[in-house]
Structure 1
Amino acid sequence: MQVHLNELARLRIEGQPRGVTSVCSAHPIVLRAALRHGRQQASTVLIEATCNQVNHLGGYTGMTPSDLVSLVMKIGAEEGCPVNLIVLGGDHLGPNPWRDRPAEEAMAEAEKMVAAYVDAGFRKIHLDASMGCKGEPVALDDETTAHRAARLAAVAEASAKKTGGAMPVYVIGTEVPPPGGADHALTTIEPTAAAAALKTIEVHRRVFAEAGLDQAFGRAIGLVVQPGVEFGNQNVILYGRSKIDALKSVLAKEPQFVFEAHSTDYQGTRPLTALVQDGFPILKVGPELTFVLREALYALDAIASDLLPDYGQRPLYQAMEALMLDQPGNWSRHYHGTDAEMRWLRHYSLSDRIRYYWASAEAQDAVRHLCEAIRGQTVPLPLLWQHMPAAQDFADAPLDPEQVLIWRVTKSLADYHAACGVGNN
């Protein structure tokens, strides 16, 4: 059943909490899995892109907002996913990609980016202007952040009125874990203080009103806070609901809002369900989905090595290792240790920084070689059990590798779907 974002607060108040999975990935296989699953379950498919991933200059994916919309709609049409189920969101939209520049210059780029997102059809907008620019503190105070957020909201409002369609809904707040997870082993994460959350709302409400943006603020549905969940390179901090009693009180005082939870990857169904029940119905997931995609690709790589005499010894793994060593920019600042430790982190870290490389020509060639080699092959059950135990239904029949990849991503999406309570209320 479809859940509309502007219904989440009402459903929580009525004691029927429902959630929405926010799929934060631009990988075509992940998108296909999400859109197919949404069509099968007749549920909302919320797909979000970050300011670094997709922007008016291309981002690290090389895609503009309109490029991503075209890709999503193309795959959605191929999968028979109704357009009315698809919701597009922009995450951390603000000056972050240009924070090495003076604030005015960075904000001018951020304005162009927000306009490009809204013009392309994105209608869930997370306003995040909390990061300092050149010569400023790393993290800005609420007042400065709110003024910059209001400036970006004004651009979004104007763009939406110009292009037509629904007006945007907004998410504010920025107290989130590091994008993509932490770089070190974690022991505990403290939730956001209730007073800090209330102050964020109060300052934004006042600043938006002063800017004549009362209607825009009236469409603010979510507040990003830290619920005490996180993952590092090697471990996961699971949700502990006993630690957020004070934070939950914020929603009683501000019934307009729900919380948005970032870095919910690897939590599993039970913690995710508790998050939805406790007022975090927007669950963001990204690295987990590309992690399990890589897991399935490497399993197929190993199966092909064992099954096919001419395939070679894990050529996909070898190609990705060579690629990451040749272009270390996306992982070298995040992985530390001996050469052996950094080697396994490059491939298996929970932060999954290998995801930045799948769009490269070298990676695509290696994946294509794998899929062509194993497509149509009959994989014996014992070999599947060795490398991908849960995939036994694919044994002893001609293999379609793409369907194996989609199946593996869907397994993670199903955990989120169950937690969100779709069809259970």
Structure 2
Amino acid sequence: MTTLLDSILLAQKQGEARGLPSICSAHPWVLKAAMRSGASHLLIESTCNQVNQYGGYTGMTPAAFAAYVQDLAQENGYPPDRILLGGDHLGPNVWKDEPAASAMAKAEQLVRDYVAAGYSKIHLDCSMKLGDDPEGPLDVEVAAQRAARLARAAEEAAARIGRNQALRYVIGTEVPVPGGATEHEEGVAVTHPADARQSIEATRDAFRRLGLDEAWERVVALVVQPGVEFGDDFVLAYDPTAAADLARFIEPYPFVYEAHSTDYQTPQALTALVQDHFAILKVGPALTFAFREGVFALAMMEDELIPRDRRSRIIQVLDEVMVAHPRHWRTYYQGDAHTQALKRKYSFSDRIRYYWPQPPVQQALKALLSNLAQTPIPLGLISQFLPHQFEKIQRGRLKPVPQIMLQDKILDVLHVYFDACQVDANS
């Protein structure tokens, strides 16, 4: 059985700089934009924090998320059979403060549920220490053994529904923190080829000890650190020279690399990553950041057009909800009250993305779009606050409709990834 990931892997091994963007978001506007992009295929992923057997922070189980994506595809006219579902950071991260026995038992159930729900790309991530692990860094062998346990759980779940041949695995023990860095960083070390080799060999041996030789043949990618990262107030750009040894290392192996935290990289950097065999490019916060930029731009237009007592106040409502419920941003945003207020709105970490589903925010967004639908928006305002969309309107490629312009802000980011990966999509 040949899958989309197999074709990307084959193309890379034949010298083609082909890749695949991984859309790591549950945001409906992001997913709708992707489905309306005209992309020939889509990889949509959810993390263990977003979606798990207890609901995650989205409130969705793997089966519920799969159904949610299917429903969105049907609503937006995108063929569901061209969507590949992936599970990102599947492992004990959510329960890392618990003893290993209970954390791993929950992680095994997590993987089973993902497979049963129809996910095909399974990222096995056991790179974190658990509650009763000894002091010091986590041993690579221990991480590999735990990853193999999860692979066994996945294979057993797949066997019950005849899906083993559909599963493709991503491995690796040098895994960046989900969602970007929590502190300012001046640089991150590129994975040394010797460490990548150790990770591959330890995981291969762990698979084989559990009789998972056939599953090992379906490992398609390795997560390493190519030297890219982003956080609250910084973006570390990809340096092909610094990663040259790592890029050459993977060429004899039947894998490609998966690059995490590629958000906010330049088009040139993303293209270089794909050329250097980082064929799977993860992106998430940059997409919801673009959505936030679009909403704020529309709110600025609303301030110019709508009487004060009828305005949505969406920017203020978002901040009020974030202040009332600081759990998702408190550990990310440091500084005094003014600095934190700026970060809640404009940080690259985009912790604001956790608050869009809140009812007061949804009501404000609905009011914003309704207000702007009732009055023509002067082109001068669009030029001021959404200049790229204004250019497209001038060329007859975009309608000056709030929802369409907002979607196009997200598409601006997606198309950079499609172009870097050579994915066919509407320009």
Above 0.5 in TM-score? yes
C-alpha contact (below 8 Å) 2:274/2:421 kept by paired residues: yes
Q: CA deviation at 1:159?
A: 1.2
Q: CA deviation at 1:295?
A: 0.5
Superposed counterparts of 1:12-411, under 5 Å: 12-37=12-37, 40-41=38-39, 43-136=40-133, 137=135, 139-165=137-163, 166-254=165-253, 256-310=254-308, 315-392=313-390, 393=392, 400-411=401-412
Q: CA deviation at 1:418?
A: 0.5
Counterpart Cα distance in 2 of 1:409 and 1:18: 22
C-alpha contact (below 8 Å) 1:182/1:231 kept by paired residues: yes
C-alpha contact (below 8 Å) 1:176/1:226 kept by paired residues: yes
Counterpart Cα distance in 2 of 1:216 and 1:163: 16
Report which stretch shifted further, 188-197 or 372-381. 372-381
Q: CA deviation at 1:394?
A: 5.3
Q: CA deviation at 1:135?
A: 2.4
Counterpart Cα distance in 2 of 1:183 and 1:228: 16
Counterpart Cα distance in 2 of 1:311 and 1:73: 40
Q: Which residue of structure 2 lines up, in the alignment, with residue 416 of structure 1?
A: 417
Counterpart Cα distance in 2 of 1:35 and 1:12: 25
Cα offsets for 1:263-289 (capped at 9, x unmatched) = 000002110000000000100000000
Q: CA deviation at 1:314?
A: 6.5
Q: CA deviation at 1:174?
A: 3.4
Query: 1:139 and 1:413, CA in 2 relative to 1: closer, same or farther beyond 3 A?
Result: farther
Counterpart Cα distance in 2 of 1:138 and 1:350: 31
Counterpart Cα distance in 1 of 2:22 and 2:126: 21
C-alpha contact (below 8 Å) 1:376/1:399 kept by paired residues: no
C-alpha contact (below 8 Å) 1:375/1:399 kept by paired residues: no
Report which stretch shifted further, 5-14 or 196-205. 5-14
Q: CA deviation at 1:167?
A: 2.7
SS for the counterpart of 1:242 is: coil
Counterpart Cα distance in 2 of 1:299 and 1:231: 23
Query: 1:130 and 1:270, CA in 2 relative to 1: closer, same or farther beyond 3 A?
Result: same
Q: CA deviation at 1:18?
A: 0.5
SS for the counterpart of 2:22 is: strand
Paired positions, count: 419
Cα offsets for 1:287-306 (capped at 9, x unmatched) = 00000001101111111111
Query: 1:82 and 1:326, CA in 2 relative to 1: closer, same or farther beyond 3 A?
Result: same
Counterpart Cα distance in 1 of 2:207 and 2:297: 51
Cα offsets for 1:366-425 (capped at 9, x unmatched) = 11111121124311011112221112145899854322221111110000000002359x
C-alpha contact (below 8 Å) 2:189/2:227 kept by paired residues: yes
SS for the counterpart of 2:274 is: helix
Q: CA deviation at 1:160?
A: 1.3
Report which stretch shifted further, 328-337 or 164-173. 164-173
Amino acid in the other structure paired with 1:47: I
Q: CA deviation at 1:142?
A: 1.3
Query: 1:343 and 1:128, CA in 2 relative to 1: closer, same or farther beyond 3 A?
Result: same
Cα offsets for 1:324-372 (capped at 9, x unmatched) = 1101111111111121111010111000001111111121111111112
Report which stretch shifted further, 9-18 or 83-92. 9-18
Counterpart Cα distance in 2 of 1:347 and 1:314: 17
Amino acid in the other structure paired with 2:420: A
Q: CA deviation at 1:67?
A: 1.1
Q: CA deviation at 1:3?
A: 8.2
C-alpha contact (below 8 Å) 1:168/1:219 kept by paired residues: yes
5+ residue gaps, structure 2, are: none
C-alpha contact (below 8 Å) 2:399/2:405 kept by paired residues: no
Amino acid in the other structure paired with 2:204: R
5+ residue gaps, structure 1, are: none
TM-score (norm 1): 0.94
Query: 1:404 and 1:245, CA in 2 relative to 1: closer, same or farther beyond 3 A?
Result: same
Query: 1:373 and 1:120, CA in 2 relative to 1: closer, same or farther beyond 3 A?
Result: same
Counterpart Cα distance in 1 of 2:173 and 2:315: 36
SS for the counterpart of 1:202 is: helix
Cα offsets for 1:81-120 (capped at 9, x unmatched) = 1222100000010011011111110111111111111111
SS for the counterpart of 1:17 is: coil
Structure 1 stretches of 4+ moved >6 Å: 395-398
The alignment yields a C-alpha RMSD, in angstroms, of 2.0
Cα offsets for 1:207-231 (capped at 9, x unmatched) = 1011000011110000000000111
Amino acid in the other structure paired with 1:410: L
Report which stretch shifted further, 242-251 or 98-107. 242-251
C-alpha contact (below 8 Å) 1:131/1:138 kept by paired residues: no
Cα offsets for 1:232-266 (capped at 9, x unmatched) = 21121111000112212321332x11000000000
SS for the counterpart of 1:205 is: helix
Counterpart Cα distance in 2 of 1:321 and 1:138: 39
